[in-house]
Protein backbone atom coordinates (compact mmCIF):
# COMPACT_ATOMS: atom_id res chain seq x y z
CA UNK A 1 0.00 0.00 0.00
CA UNK A 2 2.27 2.74 -1.31
CA UNK A 3 1.10 6.34 -0.96
CA UNK A 4 2.45 9.12 -3.20
CA UNK A 5 1.61 11.98 -0.82
CA UNK A 6 -0.21 12.51 2.44
CA UNK A 7 -3.21 13.88 0.50
CA UNK A 8 -3.62 10.82 -1.71
CA UNK A 9 -6.02 8.18 -0.35
CA UNK A 10 -4.47 4.73 0.07
CA UNK A 11 -7.55 3.11 -1.48
CA UNK A 12 -8.09 3.97 -5.12
CA UNK A 13 -11.45 5.65 -5.67
CA UNK A 14 -11.91 6.73 -2.05
CA UNK A 15 -11.23 10.46 -2.51
CA UNK A 16 -14.84 11.50 -3.16
CA UNK A 17 -16.16 9.54 -0.17
CA UNK A 18 -13.43 10.90 2.11
CA UNK A 19 -14.14 14.47 0.99
CA UNK A 20 -17.84 13.97 1.73
CA UNK A 21 -16.98 12.48 5.13
CA UNK A 22 -14.71 15.45 5.86
CA UNK A 23 -17.48 17.98 5.21
CA UNK A 24 -20.03 15.93 7.19
CA UNK A 25 -17.69 15.85 10.20
CA UNK A 26 -16.96 19.58 9.89
CA UNK A 27 -20.69 20.32 9.72
CA UNK A 28 -21.37 18.19 12.81
CA UNK A 29 -18.62 20.11 14.62
CA UNK A 30 -20.15 23.43 13.54
CA UNK A 31 -17.11 24.33 11.43
CA UNK A 32 -16.72 25.56 7.88
CA UNK A 33 -13.54 24.32 6.23
CA UNK A 34 -11.39 26.67 4.23
CA UNK A 35 -8.36 28.90 4.00
CA UNK A 36 -9.87 31.54 6.26
CA UNK A 37 -9.97 29.03 9.15
CA UNK A 38 -7.09 28.33 11.48
CA UNK A 39 -4.93 25.25 11.11
CA UNK A 40 -6.26 24.14 14.47
CA UNK A 41 -9.88 24.29 13.28
CA UNK A 42 -9.17 22.52 9.98
CA UNK A 43 -6.89 20.00 11.73
CA UNK A 44 -9.50 19.18 14.35
CA UNK A 45 -11.74 17.88 11.57
CA UNK A 46 -8.98 15.51 10.41
CA UNK A 47 -8.45 14.36 13.98
CA UNK A 48 -12.14 13.63 14.42
CA UNK A 49 -12.20 11.74 11.09
CA UNK A 50 -9.27 9.60 12.22
CA UNK A 51 -10.92 8.91 15.57
CA UNK A 52 -14.13 7.78 13.88
CA UNK A 53 -12.33 5.58 11.35
CA UNK A 54 -10.34 3.86 14.11
CA UNK A 55 -13.52 3.35 16.13
CA UNK A 56 -15.20 1.83 13.05
CA UNK A 57 -12.25 -0.53 12.50
CA UNK A 58 -12.13 -1.57 16.16
CA UNK A 59 -15.86 -2.35 16.21
CA UNK A 60 -15.53 -4.57 13.15
CA UNK A 61 -12.33 -6.25 14.29
CA UNK A 62 -13.62 -7.19 17.75
CA UNK A 63 -16.06 -9.62 16.15
CA UNK A 64 -13.35 -11.18 14.01
CA UNK A 65 -14.67 -9.44 10.91
CA UNK A 66 -12.34 -8.43 8.16
CA UNK A 67 -12.25 -4.81 7.16
Instruction: Give domain status of residue 11, yes or no.
Output: no
What is the number of other CB atoms lying within 10 angstroms of the CB of residue 45? Answer: 21
pLDDT of residue 35: 81
Instruction: Give domain status of residue 50, yes or no.
Output: yes
Instruction: Give domain status of residue 67, yes or no.
Output: yes
User: How many domains are contained in the chain?
Assistant: 1
Containing structural domain, residue 44: 38-67
pLDDT in single tens digits along all 67 residues of the chain? 555 557 788 888 899 999 999 999 999 999 888 888 888 888 899 999 999 999 999 988 887 777 6
Cα 8 from chain centroid? Answer: 12
What global pTM score does this model have? 0.74
Amino acid sequence: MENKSSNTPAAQGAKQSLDQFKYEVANEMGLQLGGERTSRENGSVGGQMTKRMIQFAEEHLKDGSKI
